[in-house]
Structure 1
Amino acid sequence: MVGRLELTLDSKEIDYKNSSNLQGVIMENIDNEYADILHTQGYNPYSQYVYTKDNKVIWCINTLDEKAYDKIIQRLLDDKFNEFTIKNRETPIKITEKRIQKKSKNLFLEEFYNVKGDKYYNIQFITPTSFKSNGRYMIFPDLRLMYKSLMKKYSASSTDMDMYDEDTLEQLIESSEITRYRLQSTVFPLEGVVIPSYKGSLSIRLHGNDTISRYARLLFSFGEYSGIGIKSSIGMGALKLLNDLK
């Protein structure tokens, strides 16, 4: 099961630049034992980011398995968690609304088997996105890095399904083509340094058979919860699939 908690914040000053501080808020409000586990393991079963919609600031927290949902989202749903403070800001930030969404992972597979794939997938990178390859930050979308990131995140979140497969990865790459993009380079601030990254949107055309198109859709749909690329637990790589399932 994946989950999403959207918190509407009574503040116009919070944006993605505060994301690493917001991760600290999460850690302060969950069990210390579980927080310690998250700090020591290589895989984070959650992502979080900030975005603005209808002139409202929304903090979105996603969990990728049931344990993370119970330990993170359930704790933040507590009525007592109605405001918080972040580093270098004394005034508490009030939470004016909470919205919750849950989705069984079986639904991703049901959509894979029952809904025909599209020829084009339109992707929006909501927050600064970056990948690291050979020790360097990659600030332009690379299909291999994109698909590989999503496959590994899906596999890490599932105890009974390994999504990562080199042959399938190669099929996805060979069958995909970036046909249109509107991107801008940017940076993501993190503890005194900045990470080169990009934001914007792109369209991917699938040339392969319908099965490979469905596979790509499954990965992008999951990516709406997991994020894509590096540091999705501190606000980077928030992704939205703009295609509507038919």
Structure 2
Amino acid sequence: MLRLTEFKLEFPEGIQVKPEMGSVFHGALMGKIAPEAAERFHEMNLRPYSQAVFWNREESTACWRIGTLDEYAYEQLIGPLEGCRELFLKQKGYAVQLQQGCLLRENSPEVLSQEMIQRTESPSGARWQCHSVMSFKQKGRYVILPDARLLYQNLLQRWNTFYPEIQLEADDLSEQLADHCRLNRYDLHSQVFSVEGSRIYGCMGTMEYQFFGFDMLKRIQGLLCSFAEFAGVGIKTAMGMGSVDIKLL
């Protein structure tokens, strides 16, 4: 089951909320869960969750979002936070107040796939809002702009890893998807994300893509965009990067 859970946060007076705080919250979260679960997650190449901290301008509040891709991740990560009203950030030396978690979205990969197939019309595009720094890595170097091929490669890898029974397979599928996706407009800026002593360059902001070509290609693009809200996009999504909201057009 795919779930997106959000906690409203209250920081001590004078503290400015920054997306890179996601890495600090990840450390605090690992300290809350069972040690064997933390070890299991640490050993995974792709983790079945994403999380990020950001400032919601519309609601004028700090938010902590955790996306879980299976039952195990939800039980191990969200369970220990139920009833938790304060999270101590050891790296910062202060505590943050948490409101009761709110389940923003929930769906199964099977239903999500079926809903996209059964849509009366295939989506014509998608509008993206990046809540935390998004970046990719190719040939050992960071790619700070949202290249469509890297974007789809990343999402396809996550989907096929966690849902092998609903594989999205075809020759050069990520190439086909990228070739039938056009960036129409964007409002992005470069941003640095500091994690574990490293500075990672990426981007934040909004962008809008247009889908074209075969009907099924557009439906797969819509499916992956819906999935991205739970999984995050790009590198280090478990550490606070790549959190997105996406509206299909």
**1:36 maps onto 2:39 in alignment:** yes
Q: Which residue of 1 aligns with 2:74?
A: 69
Q: How many residues align?
A: 242
Does the 8 Å CA contact 2:4/2:67 hold for their aligned counterparts?
A: yes
Q: Which residue of 2 aligns with 1:9?
A: 9
Q: Which residue of 2 aligns with 1:112?
A: 116
CA RMSD of aligned residues (A): 1.6
Q: Secondary structure at the match of 1:230?
A: coil
Q: Secondary structure at the match of 2:45?
A: coil
Query: Taking every aligned residue pair, what percent have the same amino acid on both sides?
Result: 30
AA at the equivalent of 2:94? T
Q: Cα distance 1:13–1:41, how it changes in 2: closer, same or farther (>3 A)?
A: same
Q: Secondary structure at the match of 1:229?
A: coil
Where do 5+ consecutive residues of structure 2 fail to align?
none
Output the TM-score relative to the length of structure 1. 0.92
Q: Cα distance 1:21–1:166, how it changes in 2: closer, same or farther (>3 A)?
A: farther
Q: Which residue of 2 aligns with 1:92?
A: 95
Matches of 2:94 and 2:130, distance apart in 1: 30
Pick which of 208-217 and 118-127 moved more: 118-127
Q: Which residue of 2 aligns with 1:134?
A: 139
Matches of 2:54 and 2:156, distance apart in 1: 25
Q: What CA deviation, in whole Å up to 9, does each residue of 1:45-77 have, x standing for no partner?
A: 000001222111110111101111111112222
Q: CA deviation at 1:186?
A: 1.1
Pick which of 13-22 and 217-226 moved more: 13-22
Q: Secondary structure at the match of 1:236?
A: coil
Q: What CA deviation, in whole Å up to 9, does each residue of 1:75-129 have, x standing for no partner?
A: 222x1x2111113433321112321243222221122211122222111222110
Q: Which residue of 1 aligns with 2:197?
A: 192
The 4+ residue runs of structure 1 with deviation greater than 6 A are none
Matches of 2:164 and 2:34, distance apart in 1: 23
